[in-house]
Amino acid sequence: MKRYIFIICLIVIAACRPEISGDIAQQPDIFPDYTDVTIPCNIAPMNFQVISQEGTAWMAEVAAEDETVFIYSGNGLIPFGKGQWKKLLSAGGELSIRIYEKRDGKWLAYQKFSMYVNDDKVDPYLAYRLITPGYSLWREMSICQRDLESFKERRIYSNTQGKGNCVNCHSFCDRDPDQMLFHLRSEFAGTYIFRNGGREKLDTKADSLISALVYPYWHTSGHYVAFSVNRTNQVLHSTDPNRIEVFDEASDVVVYDVDNHRIVTADHLSSAAAFETFPTFSPDGRSLYFCSAKAVEPMPEGYKEVKYSLCRVDFDPSDCSFGQRVDTLYNAAVQGGSVSFPRISPDGRFLAFTLSGYGTFSIWHKDADVYCIDLQSGGLSEMAALNSDDVESYHSWSGNSRWMVVSSRRDDGLYTRPYISYVDEKGMAYKPFLLPQKNPKKYYDSQMFSFNIPEFVEGQIDLSGRQIADFAAKAKDAPVVFVRKN
């Protein structure tokens, strides 16, 4: 029986193949640009749209090692069937794709392009915040979780479920869906920590802090979370290609001791003479990295003078204490630019960060690109294949250190989209691909939200928006003690 089915399939495939009248001497223009990208073996179907003014019908011939499929399209959208795509991925290696386009009743063949299936899996979920890339106002926003192996997106929390307040800075401990936090602003304001079934809301209005807790990063043990506290302001550019300038007038780094409800800092993490921000723990939990810039006054006049270096101090998780020596890994004064969002690969080998001309808020800087330091050799390199002419800013690593997701404004200069790139053992990034969608052109054209803070997550978050909203409405602030260590 199987043999007959196989023969019938062969006949159907043969019948599908169009009679080719000629070639088009170029690769097709497709959206998203998936030409020659490296993709994980567990990614959702990489549907794409052929952009052509002249064609009236299209056919994609996708060939893996021992599998060839044909997809016919009347509108340029090339959608892969679920089973079909799974087979192509499991065949592995190179997916060679040739697009045929029907023009004036004749089929013409574009040059082939490829997708390279890599055996390294990407984490199954991606969490992000959907938010309008606005100025100072906000309306609707939500934290979502996308299944990367399909097109399913689940809303974890929408501010319409609460009081319309701002929800931000979602963060996971080592990509663990059971250990996460985020902040709510305005009503029910506070930092909400969900940890292995437990929930708490922090009272972070401690007098000793210059602001509520801001940019978080979990210690891999789950016992600590490093935060920055920032007194932030913003101005609107009149003609500069960068729309907004967001800057800090003061900022410090603190560590929250989750078990003992203490906020701990040290003089060299909270100096008035410097702006310290974007803390990150190393995967072994023994180092705390952060960005630091010499404080500049007055602001915003001096905004272009603020350049953040990348620093590191020892961290002792046994008593939440800091080393006295501050190492500078990237010296902005010498090497130029300004560092933000340091993130270390889980294997501890590479430290990726965003480098822009100046300042702290690289998400609005068109020159922002992602760079990488090899922590073994100390070598610095630009992750060139990952970068574009527009903004590349927030990024995070997959659990196996082989994939990186980065927020990029390359598509239209305003709405950030998540691009995923393969990073090899040497720290070299490969051409990234845009998060797949069922009908990507339609989806991204009509999407009026930015994908903010994309974070890989190992599993499904077992929390609903209703549970979060109910908790926020009832939660009492957990008192927090402030401790300064020298």
Partner 1 sequence: MKEKSKNILFYAMAAVLLGVGIHLTQEFRFYNIAANELFIYDWAEVLGTLTETGGLATLTASFLSQFFCLPVVGTIILSGLYVFAAWLVWKILSGITDCTLSKGLAFIPVVFLFLCMENDYYRFQGHIAFMLTLAALYAYGTLSEDKIRYAAGILIVPLLYHLAGSSAMVFAVSAFMWEVLRNGFRGLYALIYPAVSLLTAFMYVKTSMTPGWEHVLTPFMYYDWPSTYFFPLYAWASVPVLMLAAHLLVKGVSRLSSYAPVVGLALALCLAGYLYNAVHSRSYYRLIQEQQLAAEGEWDEIIESADRRQPNYLVSYLNLALAHKGQLVDKLGYYNPQPVSKVMFPTPNLKTGLSLQSAVYLSWGYVSAARQAAFDANMVTPGMHNPAQLKILVLTNMALGSPEVAEKYVNILAKTLFHRGWAREMRQALDEPAYEPEELRRLREALPYKGEYVRYDGLKGDMKDILEADSSNQILSQFYTAYQMLETLEER
Query: Which residues of the chain form contacts with partner 1 (CB under 8 A)?
Result: 132, 134-135, 137-139, 155, 158, 160-161, 163-164, 235-241, 243, 245, 300, 411-415, 439, 442, 445-446, 448, 464-466, 469
What's the chain's Rg over C-alpha atoms?
Answer: 24
Q: Are strands 350-356 and 369-374 parallel, antiparallel or unpaired?
A: antiparallel
List the one residue out of 123, 73, 70, 65 whose CA is nearest residue 89.
65
Report in angstroms how near the CB of residue 17 gets to partner 1 at its nearest: 29
Report in angstroms how near the CB of residue 442 gets to partner 1 at its nearest: 5
| CB 404, CB 395: distance < 8 Å | yes
Three-state DSSP at 65 gives coil
Nearer to partner 1, 328 or 467 (CB): 467
Report in angstroms how near the CB of residue 464 gets to partner 1 at its nearest: 6
d(CA 219, CA 118): 30
Nearer to partner 1, 140 or 425 (CB): 140
Nearer to partner 1, 88 or 434 (CB): 434
Nearer to partner 1, 252 or 411 (CB): 411
Nearer to partner 1, 268 or 417 (CB): 417
List the one residue out of 365, 451, 368 whose CA is nearest residue 415.
451
Nearer to partner 1, 274 or 434 (CB): 434
Report in angstroms how near the CB of residue 104 gets to partner 1 at its nearest: 23
Report in angstroms how near the CB of residue 266 gets to partner 1 at its nearest: 35
Q: Are strands 68-73 and 57-63 parallel, antiparallel or unpaired?
A: antiparallel
Report in angstroms how near the CB of residue 407 gets to partner 1 at its nearest: 16
| CB 463, CB 194: distance < 8 Å | yes
| CB 202, CB 486: distance < 8 Å | no
Nearer to partner 1, 446 or 486 (CB): 446
Burial of 309 (0-12, 13-18, 19+ CB in 10 A): buried
Nearer to partner 1, 116 or 449 (CB): 449
Nearer to partner 1, 327 or 412 (CB): 412
Report in angstroms how near the CB of residue 193 gets to partner 1 at its nearest: 21
d(CA 168, CA 151): 24
Report in angstroms how near the CB of residue 22 gets to partner 1 at its nearest: 27
Report in angstroms how near the CB of residue 141 gets to partner 1 at its nearest: 10
d(CA 148, CA 123): 8
Rounded alpha-carbon distances, angstroms, from residue 174 to 271, 429, 451? 29, 22, 20
Report in angstroms how near the CB of residue 77 gets to partner 1 at its nearest: 10
| CB 381, CB 400: distance < 8 Å | no
Nearer to partner 1, 426 or 438 (CB): 438
Three-state DSSP at 399 gives coil
| CB 89, CB 82: distance < 8 Å | no
Report in angstroms how near the CB of residue 71 gets to partner 1 at its nearest: 19
Nearer to partner 1, 62 or 468 (CB): 468
Q: Which two tokens stand for residue 55?
A: 């064609």
Q: Which residues of 198-235 are buried (b: 16+ CB within 10 A; e: fewer)?
A: eebbbbbebeebbbbbbbbbbbbebbbbbbbbbeeeee
DSSP string for 244-307: EEEEEEEEEEEEEETTTTEEEEEGGGS-TTEEEEEEEE-TTSSEEEEEEEE--SSTTTTGGG--
Report in angstroms how near the CB of residue 293 gets to partner 1 at its nearest: 20
Nearer to partner 1, 333 or 414 (CB): 414
